[in-house]
Amino acid sequence: MKRILSALRSLAVLTAVAPAAFGAFAQAPQPPEIAARTYLLVDVTANQVLAAKDIDAPVEQASLTKLMTGYLVFDALRAKKISLEQKLPVSVRAWKMPGSRMFIDPKMQVPVEDLIKGMIVQSGNDATMALAEGVGGTAENFVKLMNDQAQALGMKGTSYKNPEGLTEPGHTTTARDLSVLAMRLMKDFPEYMHYYSTKQYSYPGTPASNGSNRNSLLFRDPTVDGLKTGHTAAAGYCLVATSKREFPGVGQRRLLSIVLGAASENARANESQKLLNWGYTAFEAVKLFEAGKPVATPAVWKGTENTLKIGREEAIVVAVPSGSAGKITTQIARPDPLVAPFTKGQSVGHLKVMLGEQALAEVPLIALEGVDQAGILGRAWDAIRLWIK
């Protein structure tokens, strides 16, 4: 049983970013032509990939690197290692950073919150270095933290050499890894996501003309609320964009697009917008089960309760090609028999969603409530019943 549960946990990680099975359908929606080296479109709400091209190819990271820097800064804030109001010094190294800048200098003591805005809105390499030194002590130690965190998140194709994203040998990632990082960033630190939708920011005493967010989709599409742009000569023009739109019967539906290696600033925005619009129209979201509601209540043996409620703490939503919602069927795969004890949140199997004869998605199921082990007599009686069964 431990091997089964371990396999299911591994499957849960893989299905979050594995290409969906839509390619097996004759009626599968075909993505539009995207002028980029690699791209990826994920339905975050349904946890499904809708379109992908070369998502495991190593690519230059450029300022998309700052997504990981932000992750570690937010983690330090939550752990109270730093505070938003705390002022950090600006080292000569930070001041002299080339590329996009916040325009801070060693005479300044800059609050962490302003440095965060400088890093995200202005894509300031100087602000990023100041944050890295403030959290890690040194940039080199911070880079070690970045690589450790990447490994912890399962980003197997990523290697960090600096906190800001300037071109350096070996400083690479993949579209798949960026999707893992972006989704974990949104899930783990929702309280800080508003920084990524900030359209304008400039620190007092620095050029106001430098204050517009590089993500032009924020100004074009009111449903777009993040996340980060990147550009170097080696990387081309890159954009990790997120959008949330309301749909009847489902509520908020979020998509994540990753476009890497576009030809221009305008092209990365256009191609990202094209992907997002296509994802919302070519696929419809179907809510199968409400958050916290049991998908099934199978029998439990040797427990203080006779049944176990299994489901998900969040709503179970799947994305299907538009017009095919009526063809969905579901199957539950779980260990049998279920023998107590079970703790709340324990993996108990998965829900397999089928569209016709093809597997569409596999959703891990957990115990919604705990079930303690029964007493000696109860366990003995159930042991006899199981033997007879």
CA dist., res. 276 & res. 225, Å (int): 13
Long-range pairs for 320-325: beta carbons < 8 A, 24 or more residues apart: 320/283, 320/284, 320/286, 320/355, 320/360, 321/22, 321/25, 321/27, 321/28, 321/29, 321/282, 321/283, 321/284, 321/355, 322/29, 322/281, 322/282, 322/283, 322/284, 323/284, 324/27, 324/355, 325/284, 325/286
Catalytic pick among 66, 228, 274, 302: 66
Tokens representing residue 228 in the block: 């980060």
Q: Residues 280, 285, 291, CA angle at the centre, nearest 5°?
A: 135
Residue 238's H or E segment, with its range, is: strand 236-247
Verify whether residue 123 is a known catalytic residue.
yes
Catalytic pick among 100, 117, 123, 202: 123
Catalytic pick among 2, 10, 53, 63: 63
CA dist., res. 92 & res. 347, Å (int): 51
Residue from 179, 181, 270 nearest 217 by CA: 270
- Which residues on neighbouring strands pair with residue 109, listed in sequence order? 89
Give the phi and the psi of residue 37 in degrees, each rounded to 5. Answer: -65, -45
Verify whether residue 63 is a known catalytic residue.
yes
Spatial contact of 60 and 172, defined as CB atoms under 8 Å apart: yes
- Which residues on neighbouring strands pair with residue 237, listed in sequence order? 231, 262
The total number of residues shown for the chain amounts to 389
Dihedral over alpha carbons 276, 278, 281, 286 (to 10 degrees): -60
Q: Hunting for tokens 């929606």 — which residue is that? A: 29
DSSP string, 271-313: HHHHHHHHHHHHEEEEEEE-TT-EEE--BEESBSSSB--EE-S
Residue from 146, 182, 130 nearest 69 by CA: 146
Give the phi and the psi of residue 61 in degrees, each rounded to 5. Answer: -90, -30
CA dist., res. 220 & res. 213, Å (int): 12
Which residues are designated catalytic?
Answer: 63, 66, 123
